[in-house]
Chain A
Amino acid sequence: MTSDPGAATAAICPSCESPVADGDDFCEACGAQLTATAQAAPAEPVAATATPRVCHVCGGEVTADGFCGSCGTKARTERDHWSESPSTALAAVCDRGIAHARNEDAMAMGVSDDGSVSVMVVCDGVTSAPDSDRASLSASKAAREVLLDGVDGAPAGGAAAIEHWSKAITAATAEANHAAVAIARSLGDPPEPPSSTFVAAVAPGSLVVVGWCGDSRAYWLPDDGEPVMLTVDHSLGSEMIRSGMTREEAEAQADCHTITRWLGADSPTPISQITTVEMTAPGWLVLCSDGLWNYISRPDDLRTMIADHADADNATPLTIADALVAYANEQGGHDNITAALLRHT
């Protein structure tokens, strides 16, 4: 064995020992996470399976071949289900759901070093294009880096702050698109390149700047006052609503989810639409993929559900995000589910 941890750990998955490619975040064979977190100390080799994994269905112990030793259910890989909570106010859960074999959703949460700026990115890989799970994860992480890089020298508030962060969102979208395109290149430019939706929010204090491309959404849900959906889906469903259908009617249409904007090598407009909101009262900023809003779309319904879970003992943004994902799975989990929550006080 060489003593260089970089050389020693790059070639094989620490969990199943399958070969892995440089730069992959998850093992293609078993789904184990290959890098602990973006902030992990690079000097130590990653021990991905040090603690026994627990079955998400029955609580039994997961065996080395990736199935529950009691009920036999295929264990969730870390790519199938993970959560991030970089601060007490911010948390997100990304989950495979039930009906899909792969989790093509991805997310990346971040907080500036001084804790003043929160960054949220959610990407929903397009199921019809193979390897979109890799594109969505790579895009999320790329966008988070750009937005965190924007913290240094950001204006404190006012129009200058809006302009700064709008540019940062545009740059983050471009970098996310670049990351998705790079995955397509690495695959030899397949005819149906991996692609993804994109929604990102940056919250420096009470200001929120949101950019989106596709049908992943952002909501602002003040505890009191009118809850609003900040984004307008880039989808045929939205166009139906614009042409006179009610939201309920449009969301019942088969092609409602056909998106008209996305990131990826074959996207004609890999650009975010941008909006801002001032959080003038305590409330919740929510980003999510359609795997959640398929089951709970109206802002007031979402606010009520979050408020119910926020009342529980020891509730945190993470427990509430978990509860939203669990709700979507209880409704059938027909798509991958991502819920990201920022508490503003």
Chain B
Amino acid sequence: MPDFTASVYQNEYLAEGGTDVHAVVSVACSGAGAAGQGEGVEAAEIIIVDTSGSMDMPPAKIAAARRAAKVAVGEILDSTWFAVVSGNTQAQMVYPLRPSMAKMDAQHRQEALQAIDGLRSRGATAIGSWISATSELFSSVPSSQRHAILLTDGKIEGESPDALPAALRAASGVFQCDCRGIGDDWVVEELRSIASALLGTVDIVADPEDLEADFEAMMRTAMSRGVADATLRVWAPQGSELLFVRQVAPTVEDLTPKGTQPSTLIREFPTGAWSDEARDYHVAVRVPTGPVGSERLAARVELVVADDVVAKGLVRGVWSTDTNLTTRIDPAVAHYTGQERLADVIQKGLQARADGDDRTATTLLGEAAKLAHEAGNEDTTRLLTKVVEVVDVEAGTVRLRQDVAKSDEMALDTRSTKTTRIKRTS
């Protein structure tokens, strides 16, 4: 049986008249088991490989894609529904041959591996149509845990600009999707929008040689998600305003716009499937102020699996005139507030740089360098130094580099939302 825990990190003390309560709620899962093993749960996996013409330039890309898809098929557990799809101007079945899904066993695995060897590249990139076709395939099997891996090397050009957003609206809640961009001709924003809408990850694989290992790890993680689906439920009191709910670890993802409101005081946010992992959420609520000495529940944060509350954290507000108590900022809240800002300044800084606004780019990326340094965010610091030359990290002074590899810039952009977890002292 999976076991969930929730821990709340906050300074609950508010000054007289204070209204805004911030907390980091850390949810951890252990004993998740494996995908499709829960009672009444069948898992389904679809691998979507870009086979547009550009995948042949150089041919190493399509070759790497074939190898990676085969490694991923190798990781899929027996009895899991699966399919392999190739995408160019439209989605085409690789395995099974007709639009359907197969149940994984030795024979189907062997057939799928052979079919993948036949992948050839030609045509354009129409990711919206691939997403729509994948939704349909998933809907053809009695599965309640659906996950896809999508690989592309280019930007969308074979369909109208509305096709992808429309496909994502329809696919939201149907399946989760991890996205990978190979090379440097794809668009970070396109893949990020897919990963965000479909509760998945996004990353760059600059070197085709790295694709196999990445696909293996992704599928292994998907197969370790023994909790098919979970919802983050946030109660906030009458008269309050839920300012935001953000996942802040392992990546920054604003959940606020994804919320539904099943009743007046409750918002629910999808979190997808869980493996043995921990995720941190930054919750901010504006509550009616209370008399000094009084205590109010500002938010009750629960993780709900199959209608059962499996973990609960209480976010409280206590009004006090003691400034020693009210002026402290909780270290976890401070840390993640900085990490959220870091992701924001990297993305805006890179956009300014692309727009030719070097002054804004220098200021924002300088702040990013400072924040990453302060938080001990070494990966981000390393990625940043490929785009800027750090003059004074404490002051956040940088100079923009002139000859920046496009893939380095894309890596910085893609990974800007990855956070470090705060070191906790116990």
- Other than A71-B288, A72-B297, give 14 A-B pairs with Cβ distance below 8 A: A65-B300, A67-B296, A67-B300, A70-B265, A72-B236, A72-B237, A72-B287, A72-B298, A73-B294, A73-B295, A74-B294, A74-B295, A98-B294, A333-B293
- With A65-B314, A68-B237 known as contacts, the answer to whether A74 contacts B293 (CB < 8 A) is no
Contact A71 B293 (CB under 8 A): no
Cβ-based interface call for A99 (8 A): yes
CA distance A70 to B237 in the complex (A): 6
**C-beta contact mask, A68-83 vs B, less than 8 Å → 1, else 0?**
1111111000000000
Query: Min CB distance, B16 to chain A, in Å?
Result: 11
Interface positions of B (Cβ within 8 A of A): 236-240, 265, 287-288, 290-298, 300, 312, 314, 316, 318
Q: Give me the 3 closest cross-chain CB pairs, A-B, nearest first.
A: A72-B237, A67-B297, A99-B293
CA distance A180 to B290 in the complex (A): 34
Contact A72 B240 (CB under 8 A): yes
CA distance A100 to B238 in the complex (A): 24
Residue of A nearest to B292 (CB): A99
Cβ-based interface call for A312 (8 A): no
B291 surroundings in chain A (CB, below 8 A) = 98-99, 333
Residue of A nearest to B296 (CB): A72
Contact B293 A98 (CB under 8 A): yes
Query: Min CB distance, B163 to chain A, in Å?
Result: 45
CA distance A68 to B288 in the complex (A): 14
List 29 A-B pairs, Cβ < 8 Å: A58-B238, A60-B238, A65-B300, A65-B314, A67-B297, A68-B297, A70-B237, A70-B265, A71-B237, A71-B238, A71-B239, A71-B288, A71-B296, A72-B236, A72-B237, A72-B238, A72-B240, A72-B297, A72-B298, A73-B290, A73-B294, A73-B295, A73-B296, A74-B296, A98-B292, A99-B292, A101-B293, A333-B291, A333-B293
CA distance A71 to B300 in the complex (A): 12
B287 surroundings in chain A (CB, below 8 A) = 72
A71 surroundings in chain B (CB, below 8 A) = 237-239, 288, 296
CA distance A69 to B291 in the complex (A): 19
Query: Min CB distance, B366 to chain A, in Å?
Result: 42
Query: Min CB distance, A333 to chain B, in Å?
Result: 8
Residue of B nearest to A60 (CB): B238
CA distance A205 to B295 in the complex (A): 44
**C-beta contact mask, A43-86 vs B, less than 8 Å → 1, else 0?**
00000000000000010100001011111111000000000000
CA distance A98 to B240 in the complex (A): 21
Residue of B nearest to A58 (CB): B238
B293 surroundings in chain A (CB, below 8 A) = 97-101, 333
Residue of A nearest to B293 (CB): A99
B316 surroundings in chain A (CB, below 8 A) = 74
Q: Is the interface of A mostly helix, strand, loop or mixed?
A: loop
Interface positions of A (Cβ within 8 A of B): 58, 60, 65, 67-74, 97-101, 333
A98 surroundings in chain B (CB, below 8 A) = 291-294
CA distance A98 to B297 in the complex (A): 16
B238 surroundings in chain A (CB, below 8 A) = 58, 60, 70-72
Contact B297 A74 (CB under 8 A): yes
Residue of A nearest to B315 (CB): A72
A74 surroundings in chain B (CB, below 8 A) = 294-297, 316
Residue of A nearest to B239 (CB): A71
CA distance A24 to B290 in the complex (A): 31
Query: Min CB distance, B308 to chain A, in Å?
Result: 15
Residue of B nearest to A99 (CB): B293
CA distance A70 to B300 in the complex (A): 12
Residue of B nearest to A100 (CB): B293
A69 surroundings in chain B (CB, below 8 A) = 265
B292 surroundings in chain A (CB, below 8 A) = 98-99
A67 surroundings in chain B (CB, below 8 A) = 296-297, 300, 314
B318 surroundings in chain A (CB, below 8 A) = 101
Residue of A nearest to B237 (CB): A72
A333 surroundings in chain B (CB, below 8 A) = 291, 293
CA distance A100 to B314 in the complex (A): 21
A68 surroundings in chain B (CB, below 8 A) = 237, 297
Q: Which residue of B265, B293, B314 has the most chain A CB atoms within 10 A of its CB atom?
A: B293
CA distance A70 to B312 in the complex (A): 18
Query: Min CB distance, A152 to chain B, in Å?
Result: 44
B295 surroundings in chain A (CB, below 8 A) = 73-74, 101
Query: Min CB distance, B323 to chain A, in Å?
Result: 16
B239 surroundings in chain A (CB, below 8 A) = 71
B314 surroundings in chain A (CB, below 8 A) = 65, 67
CA distance A67 to B312 in the complex (A): 14
CA distance A74 to B288 in the complex (A): 14
Query: Min CB distance, A331 to chain B, in Å?
Result: 12
CA distance A178 to B295 in the complex (A): 34
B297 surroundings in chain A (CB, below 8 A) = 65, 67-68, 72-74
CA distance A160 to B296 in the complex (A): 55
Query: Min CB distance, B76 to chain A, in Å?
Result: 42
Query: Min CB distance, B190 to chain A, in Å?
Result: 42
A70 surroundings in chain B (CB, below 8 A) = 237-238, 265
CA distance A71 to B290 in the complex (A): 11
Query: Min CB distance, A290 to chain B, in Å?
Result: 16
Q: Which residue of A58, A69, A72 has the most chain B CB atoms within 10 A of its CB atom?
A: A72
Query: Min CB distance, A336 to chain B, in Å?
Result: 11
Q: Which residue of A58, A65, A74 has the most chain B CB atoms within 10 A of its CB atom?
A: A74
CA distance A73 to B293 in the complex (A): 11
CA distance A71 to B289 in the complex (A): 11
A58 surroundings in chain B (CB, below 8 A) = 238
CA distance A333 to B294 in the complex (A): 11
B312 surroundings in chain A (CB, below 8 A) = 65
CA distance A153 to B318 in the complex (A): 52
Query: Min CB distance, B5 to chain A, in Å?
Result: 16
Query: Min CB distance, A71 to chain B, in Å?
Result: 5
CA distance A68 to B295 in the complex (A): 11
Query: Min CB distance, B284 to chain A, in Å?
Result: 15
CA distance A237 to B273 in the complex (A): 66
B300 surroundings in chain A (CB, below 8 A) = 65, 67
Query: Min CB distance, B291 to chain A, in Å?
Result: 5
Query: Min CB distance, A97 to chain B, in Å?
Result: 8
Residue of B nearest to A96 (CB): B293
CA distance A66 to B265 in the complex (A): 17
Query: Min CB distance, A306 to chain B, in Å?
Result: 26
CA distance A330 to B238 in the complex (A): 23
CA distance A67 to B240 in the complex (A): 15
Residue of A nearest to B287 (CB): A72
A60 surroundings in chain B (CB, below 8 A) = 238
